[in-house]
Amino acid sequence: MEKDRLIKYSLLICLALIVCQLTVSCARQIKTSGLKESKDYLRAGEQEMQRWREMKFGLFIHWGPVSLKGTEIGWSRGGERRGRGGRGSIPAEEYDNLYKQFNPVKFNADEWVQIARDAGMKYLVFTSKHHDGFSMFDSKLTDYKITNSPFKRDVVKELADACHKAGLKLGYYYSPVDWYHPDYRTENHPRYIEFLHGQIRELCTNYGRLDIMWFDSLGGSAKDWDSENLFRMIRRLQPHIIINNRAGLPADHDTPEQRIGKFQTDRAWETCMTICRQWAWKPDDRMKSLKQCIQTLVWVVGGDGNLLFNVGPMPDGRIEPRQVQRLREMGQWLKKYGQSIYGTRGGPFKTGSWGASTHKGSTIYIHVFNWDSNTITLPPIPKKVIASSVLTGGAATVKQTEEAIEISVPKAHRRELDTIIVLKLDGPANKITPRALLSGSLAVAKKVKASNVFRNMAAHGADKAVDDDPSTRWATDYGTRQAWLEVDLGKPMTFNRAAVSEAYDRVQQFELQYRNGQQWRIFAQGTTIGQKLKLKFPLVTARYVRLNILDATEGPTIWEFQLFAPKK
């Protein structure tokens, strides 16, 4: 009997130890799982990011009562900008009361959504509230809102309903910055945080499914907006949502503004850019050409990004007809060639002034904008090209060796907007390490200096104009009317062609010079430059070359300055 009791006692002890170990193990698992779940709100899931990446092209809309003035939304408001310097051109009292005159009776949400769809866009992001603090939705937390205007209707609700009905993904721009709210960046800022979180809760609960939250905090920190708790609430209410990087946290994607983002495949990004020059509507604002629009889209997608393309509707609620026409022209192009855009990834050849590449499965699409010679020479790849064609029509000759891939297309088959060559491989293209394709410019990576650099920032240094990267630029300080960029080719070189690409169309007069001894001599000159200006001139042999900007409307900024040897 005693022996039996000892055996039972031993078994009970072993069982207790096993239970204890299981309890500890479960506790650890619960703790680890809880830790993982507690951080899930900081980023979207892989499936959500994949769906967003595949869409590639979206419509950004900046609109509000300021359209009555035709000035920039938020920034043209006078008065104090707490947390930011400067003042706008419209007195705050006048700006803040524009909504009392705002009655956009021709606004039609279904028409806006149809315009986006006609453009080939897959999602729409609308400004629910900008820095000026005006809410374009029926918020219960403020009287400064669209439903208190003569219009009285909830624009956000009507857009949400139209997007859901049409199957267009929906996003809201929301600025945590608020120059109107009395508590913003004061000793009562915690009260403003409650207001901010309350409005985001309204947007996430009152308008159905929301796919994108697009913040614009002007560099504010996560602490400024209590972003971790804000993100936790958003993800709980809209679990599938994508959030950008402008609320003090990295979130899901980067947002280069008014420029083409750099080639980047390890983190998602989205260029936000205006179809004209101003975010909000401006009468007779200069609009991008179809060529600029298409090539911008291709450069962005070829760099592995998305393009969020902005329009500013007019005071009556319509999107300006000429902007609608341009968007529909883009849509017509995408109907023909969208297979090289939607659902692709950037590369494997890095973007450059020559063009861009995209890929899907075992197919590579080569987008060529500039034929600086009769042949495009691509770096070698570890896959075999088994077939080729020209998506835009015509034929191509493709020669693959261990050193390069050479592609030639007859001039008659080259397209002004974009010539697209299709390469079929014997294996997946996503296994190929991205490689740069140099333009052939004699100025690439040469020593360079400039008369002026924007705030002495290395990110806008003179070298950015000769790095063969369309996502970087040399920039000058605000107010600069004259400037020069000087390239040292290292030794005398012979050239008879040049190409210059400019941001924001500010240059009004320029000349190209070479140095002969101590004297600079002019060999080409012109007025405006634009997205891509090609110049041809008699042969020049020189070591030092200068782009001399004689007049500009505002600090000039240059994407690329290139020089080319005579064609063989």
Digit-coded pLDDT (tens) for 288-335: 999 999 999 999 999 999 999 999 999 999 999 999 999 999 999 999
DSSP, residue by residue, 437-497: -----TTTT-EEEES--GGG-GGG-GGGGGSS-TT--EE--TT---EEEEEEEEEEEEEEE
- The confidence band for 470, taking pLDDT boundaries of 50, 70 and 90, is confident
Q: What percent of the chain has pLDDT over 90?
A: 85
Does residue 424 carry a pLDDT above 70?
Answer: yes
**In the predicted model, is pLDDT for residue 450 greater than 50?**
yes
Residue 434 pLDDT exceeds 80: yes
What's the pLDDT at 15?
A: 43
Average pLDDT on 138-162 reads: 98
CATH match for 447-564 among 3.40.50.300, 3.40.720.10, 2.60.120.260, 3.40.50.720: 2.60.120.260
Residue 17 has pLDDT above 70, yes or no: no
DSSP for 261-306, written as a single string: PPP-SSS-BEEEEESSSSSS--TT-----HHHHHHHHHHHHHTT-E
Q: Which of 270, 338, 336, 340 is nearest to 303 (CA)?
A: 270
Q: What is the pLDDT of residue 530?
A: 85
Q: Are 557 and 460 contacting, i.e. CB atoms less than 8 angstroms apart?
A: yes
365 vs 12, higher pLDDT: 365
Lay out the sheet containing 397-400: strands in order across.
375-378, 405-408, 397-400
pLDDT over 90 at 24, yes or no: no
The answer to whether residues 57 and 299 touch, using CB atoms and an 8 Å cutoff, is: no
pLDDT tens by residue, 533-562: 999 999 999 999 999 999 999 999 999 999
Give the span between the Cα atoms of 25 and 33, in whole angstroms: 12
Between CA 252 and CA 246 the distance in angstroms is 10
Please give the average per-residue pLDDT across 210-235, as a whole number: 96
Largest CA-CA distance found in the chain, in angstroms, rounded: 116
Residue 13 has pLDDT above 50, yes or no: no
CATH architecture of 347-431: Sandwich (2.60)
Task: Report the DSSP pairing between strands 483-502 and 557-564.
Answer: antiparallel
Local confidence band at 16 (pLDDT 50, 70, 90 cut-offs): very low
pLDDT of residue 487: 98
H/E element, 237: helix 227-237
- Read off the pLDDT band of 10 (50, 70, 90): very low
25 pLDDT above the threshold of 70: no
Written as one letter, the residue type at 153 is: R
Task: Indicate whether 467 pLDDT > 50.
Answer: yes
**Dihedral, CA atoms, 4, 8, 14, 19, nearest 10 degrees?**
170
**Is the pLDDT reported for residue 28 higher than 70?**
no
> Which residue shows structure tokens 């079929």?
424
Q: State the amino acid at position 559 in one-letter form.
A: W
| Average confidence score pLDDT of the chain | 92
| Residues 245/216, Cβ–Cβ less than 8 Å | no
Token duo for residue 336: 């023909």
Domain boundaries of the chain, sorted by first residue: 46-320, 347-431, 447-564
Residue 562 bridge partners (DSSP): 499
Contacts of residue 21, Cβ cutoff 8 Å, sequence gap at least 6: none
What confidence score (pLDDT) does residue 361 get?
98
* pLDDT value of position 39: 63
| 414 residue type, one letter | R
Residue 356 neighbours by CB distance under 10 Å: 30
- pLDDT, position 11: 44
The predicted model gives 389-405 an average pLDDT of: 96
pLDDT value of residue 216 = 97
Rg (alpha carbons) of the chain, rounded to whole number: 28
pLDDT reported for residue 409: 97
Q: What is the pLDDT of residues 47-93, one digit of tens each?
A: 999 999 999 999 999 999 999 999 999 999 999 999 898 899 999 99
**Per-residue pLDDT at 6 exceeds 60:** no
For residue range 175-206, what is the model confidence (pLDDT) as tens digits?
Answer: 999 999 999 999 999 999 999 999 999 999 99
CATH number of 46-320: 3.20.20.80
Residue showing tokens 């859901």: 164
β-pairing verdict for 242-243 and 270-274: unpaired
Query: What are the DSSP E strand ranges found in 288-362?
Result: 306-311, 345-346, 355-360
Higher model confidence: residue 133 or residue 373?
133
